[in-house]
Amino acid sequence: MKIVLQADKIGKNFGGLRALDNIDLKIHEGEIVALIGPNGAGKTTLFNCITGMHEPTDGKVNVFPPGQSKTCVNGFKPNKITELGLARTFQNIRLFNKMTVLENVMVGCHCRNSNTFLEAIVRGPRFKREEKQTLENSQYLLETFGLIDFAHHLAENLPYANQRRLEIARALATDPFLLLLDEPAAGMNPNETNALDQLILKIRNEKKISILLIEHDMKLVMRISDRIFVMNQGKNIADGSPQEIRNNETVIHAYLGTE
């Protein structure tokens, strides 16, 4: 199967703290991989190293955008990595609060537009065509996410679960081949979480996007993951199917047993 992400021997130091140590992670096309582990294990730091928020101290992050050759993204800025086709959400929601729901998604789409600054100012034909396309794509995403009725509400006025969904919609608007979700079900009730796992499966099945998700809700993780990658204290301690991870003594000891 085609590989879309290959992180080799990633290390990350914060002063004297070794937050990541020798992490090898591969993700295949269309795969849903859950990244689990106790708080402080280094999960978000690994996301940050993959998406350009941090540069790894050691190792290489390689991505394989469709139709392009292998690209090492170490040292690339986050916006450049988004353009290559990696999109993410954040553990602490980061929406444009004072913009509408629709505008939040349109901002995501804009990273795919080819207008120059001049064309935007003179509002030439290409600008108008792309704006129309952006609007249609954004409305389609809002419909998929059950958010179309709130299109003109300010993002900050949405209930919490819908803010989380909107963040995923905005990430998808950038047309990624790999979507990284940092605790997407955090703060959701069981009904909202069930709806979320249907949505994640739908995204993968319809768009063939690969998904890497950090999640503490083990029911969600066991239901939707093809593979689970377990971290503890900056290290990878197990990597396998949900069934293998459920029965792995080291994992039970480090993590599952404490739940």
Least distance in angstroms from the C-beta of 172 to ligand ADP: 22
Q: Binding partner of residue 195 among Mg ion, ligand ADP, none, CB under 5 to 8 Å per kind?
A: none
Counting Cα atoms < 13 Å in the Cβ hemisphere of 96 gives: 12
Verify binding: residue 42, ligand ADP, rule CB under 6 A.
yes
Report how far Cα 125 is from the mean position of its chain's Cα atoms: 34
Verify binding: residue 44, Mg ion, rule CB under 5 A.
yes
Structure-token match 């803010």, residue found: 163
Least distance in angstroms from the C-beta of 62 to ligand ADP: 21
**One residue of 7, 33, 34, 44 binding ligand ADP per CB under 6 A:** 44
Report how far Cα 43 is from the mean position of its chain's Cα atoms: 12
Least distance in angstroms from the C-beta of 43 to Mg ion: 5
- C-alpha angle 84-90-96 in degrees, rounded to nearest 5: 90
Q: Binding partner of residue 40 among ligand ADP, Mg ion, none, CB under 5 to 8 Å per kind?
A: ligand ADP
> Which of the residues 1 through 40 are near ligand ADP (CB under 6 A)?
14, 17, 19, 37, 39-40
Verify binding: residue 89, Mg ion, rule CB under 5 A.
no
Using the minimum distance from each CB to ligand ADP, give the nearer residue, 48 or 210: 48
DSSP 120-173: HHHT-HHHHHHHHHHHHHHHHHHHHTT-GGGTTSBGGGS-HHHHHHHHHHHHHH
Using the minimum distance from each CB to Mg ion, give the nearer residue, 91 or 233: 91
**One residue of 36, 41, 230, 245 binding ligand ADP per CB under 6 A:** 41
Q: Binding partner of residue 163 among ligand ADP, Mg ion, none, CB under 5 to 8 Å per kind?
A: none
Using the minimum distance from each CB to ligand ADP, give the nearer residue, 44 or 134: 44
3-class DSSP state for residue 80? helix
Structure tokens at 16: 């004297």
CB atoms within 10 A of CB 129: 11
**Bridge partners, 28 (sequence order):** 3
Tell me which residues touch Mg ion (CB under 5 A): 43-44, 91
